[in-house]
Amino acid sequence: MKDFLIVYSSKTGNTEKIAKALYTAAEERCDIATVHSAAATEKYKVIFAGYWVDKGEPDKEAQKFLQTLTEKKIVLFQTLGAEAESDHGVSAFANTGKYLNRRCKVIGTLSIRGAIDPKLIKGMLKMPPGHPHAPTEESKKRWLDASTHPDEYDIKKAESYMRKFIAFYDRFY
């Protein structure tokens, strides 16, 4: 039996890239699946639940999956267009908690910047001045900066995270 199951939801491929990097680093210790094809979670010790951030919380498919988990150790990983350690990134983790059963225990988090869906940017470009998501010079720069992520550094960060997590898990669990 494998210890970990990586389950992810990905719209543009950002979260999938991070899920695969985690999987590569875990070697024989885990399985990987999308939220639509996830196996029974009971047989795994830790669930790595990955999602893309949509309006400050997990996307709808990830929300549904998270609600199926009970009495599990969970590592949350997310991709978002903002800086990973920004207020938006931190609050997205906090917002994720409302989809988890109270008997689940979050034992790790990983946040990675990802490119913003071009369709979303196209919609924001049409928003009138004064709207919170209307284009500004600052937001256009942020969109451009995000467009190259997840990059090689982000992939290495995810792989390193998994190796450190395994060492932590083996020591304390």
The neighbour count for residue 49, using CB atoms within 10 Å, is 30
Q: In the prediction, which pLDDT does 35 show? A: 96
Q: In the prediction, which pLDDT does 104 show? A: 97
* Whole-number average pLDDT of the chain: 94
All domains of the chain in start order, with CATH: 4-114+149-168 (3.40.50.360), 116-148 (no CATH)
Q: How far is CA 103 from CA 14, 47, 73, 100, 148, in A?
A: 29, 14, 9, 8, 38
Tens digit of each residue's pLDDT (9 = 90 or more) over 89-125: 999 999 999 999 999 999 999 999 999 999 988 998 9
- Given a cut of 80, whether residue 1 has pLDDT beyond it is no
Question: Quick one: pLDDT band at residue 132, thresholds 50, 70, 90?
Answer: confident
Residue written as token pair 């709207």: 131
- Given a cut of 90, whether residue 139 has pLDDT beyond it is no
Tens digit of each residue's pLDDT (9 = 90 or more) over 3-46: 999 999 999 999 999 999 999 999 899 999 999 998 789 999 99
- Given a cut of 90, whether residue 87 has pLDDT beyond it is yes
Q: In the prediction, which pLDDT does 93 show? A: 97
The neighbour count for residue 163, using CB atoms within 10 Å, is 14
Segment (H or E) for 20: helix 14-26
CB of 111 closer than 8 Å to CB of 78: yes
- The C-alpha atoms of residue 106 and residue 78 are separated, in whole angstroms, by 14
Q: In the prediction, which pLDDT does 151 show? A: 97
